[in-house]
Amino acid sequence: GFSDDAKPSGGGRVFAPYAIFKGKAALTVAPVLPVFAKIDSGNVCIERRGTVMMTFMPAIGQRKYDWAKKQMFALSATEVGSVISMGSKDSSEFFHDPSMKSSNSGQVTKSLSIKPYEDSKSQDGKGGYYFSLSVQNKILKTNHYLVVPVTIAEFAVMKTAFSFALPYIMGWDRLIVQGENAPQSFST
Amino acid sequence: GFSDDAKPSGGGRVFAPYAIFKGKAALTVAPVLPVFAKIDSGNVCIERRGTVMMTFMPAIGQRKYDWAKKQMFALSATEVGSVISMGSKDSSEFFHDPSMKSSNSGQVTKSLSIKPYEDSKSQDGKGGYYFSLSVQNKILKTNHYLVVPVTIAEFAVMKTAFSFALPYIMGWDRLIVQGENAPQSFST
Amino acid sequence: GFSDDAKPSGGGRVFAPYAIFKGKAALTVAPVLPVFAKIDSGNVCIERRGTVMMTFMPAIGQRKYDWAKKQMFALSATEVGSVISMGSKDSSEFFHDPSMKSSNSGQVTKSLSIKPYEDSKSQDGKGGYYFSLSVQNKILKTNHYLVVPVTIAEFAVMKTAFSFALPYIMGWDRLIVQGENAPQSFST
Amino acid sequence: GFSDDAKPSGGGRVFAPYAIFKGKAALTVAPVLPVFAKIDSGNVCIERRGTVMMTFMPAIGQRKYDWAKKQMFALSATEVGSVISMGSKDSSEFFHDPSMKSSNSGQVTKSLSIKPYEDSKSQDGKGGYYFSLSVQNKILKTNHYLVVPVTIAEFAVMKTAFSFALPYIMGWDRLIVQGENAPQSFST
Is C13's CB within 8 Å of B43's CB? yes
pLDDT, residue A73, reads 97
Average pLDDT, chain B: 84
Which of the other chains make 3 or more beta carbon contacts under 8 angstroms with chain D? A, C
**Closest to D24 in 3D by CA, of D130, D111, D183, D181:** D130
Contacting residues of D for C172, CB less than 8 Å apart: 16, 18, 30-31, 161, 164-165
ipTM: 0.84
Contact C12 B180 (CB under 8 A): no
Tell how far CA B77 is from the center of its chain.
9
pLDDT (average), residues D88-113: 90
Q: Distances from the Cα of C107 to the Cαs of B135, C99, C102, C136, C140, in angstroms?
A: 57, 8, 10, 8, 9
Contact of A9 with chain B, judged by CB distance below 8 Å, is answered with: no
- Report phi then psi at A159, rounded to 5: -60, -45
Assess C45–D contact: CB distance below 8 Å, yes or no.
yes
Q: Own/partner pairs for D88-96, CB < 8 Å, 24+ apart?
A: D88/D116, D88/D152, D89/D116, D90/D116, D91/D115, D91/D116
Does B61 contact C at CB distance below 8 Å?
no
Measured in angstroms, the CA of D30 and the nearest CA of chain A are apart by 18
User: What integer pLDDT is reported at residue B98 of this predicted model?
Assistant: 86
The residue that leads in pLDDT, A125 or B107, is: B107
CA-nearest of B120, B122, B138, B140 to B130 is: B122
Rounded to an integer, what distance in angstroms lies between the CA atom of residue B53 and that of residue A137?
42
Chain B residue with minimum CA distance to A86: B153
CA atoms of C54 and B121, how far apart (whole Å): 48
Q: What is the DSSP letter of A181?
A: T
pLDDT score recorded for residue C42: 80
Using CA atoms, how far apart are residues B56 and B35, in angstroms rounded to an integer?
A: 24
Answer whether D177 touches C (CB < 8 Å). yes
Beta carbons of C78 and C101 less than 8 angstroms apart: no
Contacts of B172 in chain C (CB under 8 A): 16, 18, 30-31, 161, 164-165
DSSP-derived pairing of the beta strands B44-48 and C14-15: parallel
Concatenated DSSP letters of A111-138? EEEEEEE-STTSTTSS-EEEEEEEEEET
CB pairs under 8 A between A and B: 112
**Min Cα–Cα distance to chain A from D167, Å:** 6
CB C146 within 8 A of CB C132: yes
D43:A12 CB<8 A: yes
Q: What is the mean pLDDT of residues D67-85?
A: 95
Nearest to A156 by CA among A128, A178, A119, A188: A128
Q: Is the residue at A183 inside a domain?
A: no
Give me Rg for the CA atoms of chain D. 19
**Residue B129 to residue C115: CA distance in whole angstroms:** 31
Measured between CB atoms, which of A5, A31, A151 is closest to D175? A31
List of chain D residues whose C-beta atoms are within 8 Å of the C-beta of residue A124: none
- Would you call A170 and B152 a contact, using CB atoms and an 8 Å cutoff? no
C67-126 pLDDT, tens digit each: 999 999 999 999 999 999 998 889 999 999 988 878 888 899 999 999 999 765 544 557
- β D44-48/A14-15 pair status: parallel
Instruction: Please name the member of D170, D182, D187 whose beta carbon is closest to the beta carbon of A16.
Output: D170
Asked if residue D153 lies in contact with residue C78, where contact means CB atoms within 8 angstroms, the answer is: yes
- Enumerate the residues of chain D whose CB falls inside 8 A of the CB of residue C50: none
As a whole number, mean pLDDT of residues A151-156 equals 94
Q: Among A185, A186, A188, pick the best mutation site for testing chain B contact (most B Cβ within 10 A).
A: A185
d(CA D188, CA A65): 39
Which of B9, B18, B53 is most worth mutating to test chain A (most A CB atoms within 10 A of its CB)? Answer: B18
Instruction: Give the residue ranges of DSSP H helices in D27-151.
Output: 77-84
The answer to whether the Cα torsion of A110, A114, A120, A122 is positive or negative is: positive
Instruction: Tell whether D44 lies on the interface with A, counting CB pairs under 8 A.
Output: yes
Residue at C69: amino acid letter: K
Closest chain D C-alpha to A36 CA, distance in angstroms? 5
Assess A181–B contact: CB distance below 8 Å, yes or no.
Answer: no
The answer to whether residue D182 is domain-embedded is: no
CATH number at residue C100: 2.30.31.10
Report which DSSP code applies to B185.
Answer: G
Instruction: Say whether residue C34 is in contact with chain D using an 8 A CB cutoff.
Output: yes
Strands (DSSP E) found in chain B: 14-15, 18-21, 25-32, 35-38, 44-48, 51-61, 64-65, 71-75, 92-96, 108-117, 128-137, 142-151
Closest CA to A164 of C181, D179, C160, D165: D165
Domain assignment of residue A108, yes or no: yes
The average pLDDT across A147-153 equals 95
Measure in Å the smallest separation between the Cα of B96 and chain A Cα atoms. Answer: 25
Task: Flag whether residue A11 sits within 8 Å of chain D, measured between CB atoms.
Answer: yes
Given a cut of 50, whether residue B43 has pLDDT beyond it is: yes
Share of chain D above pLDDT 70, in %: 84
The C residues from 66 to 95 touching D (CB cutoff 8 Å) are 77-82, 84-85
Instruction: Establish if D1 belongs to a structural domain.
Output: no
For the CA atoms of D113, D119, D125, D131, what is the dihedral angle to 10 degrees? -10
What are the pLDDT digits (tens) for A23-74? 999 999 999 999 988 888 888 888 898 999 999 999 999 889 999 999 999 9
Higher pLDDT, A66 or B47: A66
Most confident of A118-122, A137-141, D87-91: A137-141
CB D81 within 8 A of CB A154: yes
Chain A contact present for D45, CB below 8 A: yes
Residues on chain B touching C10 (C-beta within 8 angstroms) = 41-42
Distance from CA of D175 to the nearest CA of A (A): 6
Distance, in Å, from the CA atom of C80 to the CA atom of C74, rounded to the nearest integer, reads 10
Q: How confident is the model at residue A154 (pLDDT cuts 50, 70, 90)?
A: very high
List the one residue out of A126, A121, A115 whose CA is nearest residue A152.
A126
Domain assignment of residue C3, yes or no: no
- Is the pLDDT at C159 greater than 50? The verdict is yes
pLDDT at C173: 87
Query: How many other β-carbons are positioned within 10 Å of the β-carbon of residue A39?
Result: 14
Task: Find out whether B59 and B30 touch, Cβ atoms under 8 Å.
Answer: no
CA distances from A185 to B40, B52, B59, B180, B182 (A): 17, 18, 34, 21, 21
Q: Are strands A51-61 and D108-117 parallel, antiparallel or unpaired?
A: unpaired
Residue A25 covered by a domain: yes
Angle, in degrees to the nearest 10, between helices C152-170 and B172-180: 10
D174 touches chain A (CB under 8 A): yes
Residue from D172, D180, D181, D188 whose CB has the most chain A CBs within 10 Å, to mutate: D172
**Strand, helix or coil at D177?**
helix
- Please tell me the predicted confidence (pLDDT) of residue A5: 35
- pLDDT bucket at C127, cuts 50 / 70 / 90: confident
Encode pLDDT of B112-126 as tens digits.
Answer: 999 999 755 544 557
Q: Looking at the partner chain, which of A1, A10, A154 has a beta carbon nearest the beta carbon of D42?
A: A10
Residues ≥6 apart with Cβ < 8 Å to A119: A127
> How many pairs of residues across A and D have Cβ atoms under 8 Å apart?
113
Q: Which residues of C touch D153 (CB under 8 A)?
A: 78-79, 81-82, 85
CB of C38 within 8 Å of a chain B CB? The answer is: yes
Tell me whether residue C123 is in a domain.
yes
The beta strand positions in chain D, using DSSP E, are 14-15, 18-21, 25-32, 35-38, 44-48, 51-61, 64-65, 71-75, 92-96, 108-117, 128-137, 142-151
Residues spanned by the domain of C97: 18-172
Task: Identify the weakest region by mean pLDDT among A148-152, B4-8, B127-131.
Answer: B4-8
Residue C178: the pLDDT is 56
Tens of pLDDT, residue by residue over A78-124, are 999 999 999 888 999 999 998 887 888 889 999 999 999 976 554 45
Q: Is the dihedral of CA A172, A177, A178, A180 positive or negative?
A: positive
Query: Is the pLDDT higher at A158 or at C43?
Result: A158
Neighbours of chain A (3+ CB pairs under 8 A): B, D
**Structural domain tally of chain C?**
1
Q: Which residues of chain C make contact with D6, given a CB cutoff of 8 A?
A: 182, 184-185, 187
Q: Which run of H or E residues covers position D168?
A: helix D152-170
Residue B150 lies in a domain: yes
Do A1 and D82 make contact, defined as CB atoms within 8 angstroms? Answer: no
With cut-offs at 50, 70 and 90, classify the pLDDT of residue C8. Answer: very low
Contact C108, C137 (CB under 8 A): yes
Mean pLDDT of A18-27: 96
A126 Cβ under 8 Å from any chain D Cβ: no
Taking residues B39-57, report their average pLDDT: 90
**Assign residue B157 a region: left if phi > 0, alpha if psi is -120 to 50, beta otherwise?**
alpha
**Measured at the alpha carbon of residue B53, what is the angle toward residues B47 and B58, in degrees to the nearest 5?**
150
CA A177 to chain D, closest CA, distance in angstroms equals 9
Cα–Cα dist A174/A46, whole Å: 10
Average pLDDT, chain D: 84
- Rounded mean pLDDT of C3-29? 74
pLDDT band at D178 (very low <50, low <70, confident <90, very high): low
Flag whether pLDDT at B42 surpasses 90.
Answer: no
Pick B85's closest partner by Cβ from C36, C153, C173: C153
The stretch C1-20 carries a mean pLDDT of 60
The partner residues of B45 in beta bridges, in order of sequence, read B37, C15
User: Is B125 part of the contact surface with chain A (CB cutoff 8 Å)?
Assistant: no
Assign C26 a pLDDT band (cuts: 50, 70, 90). very high
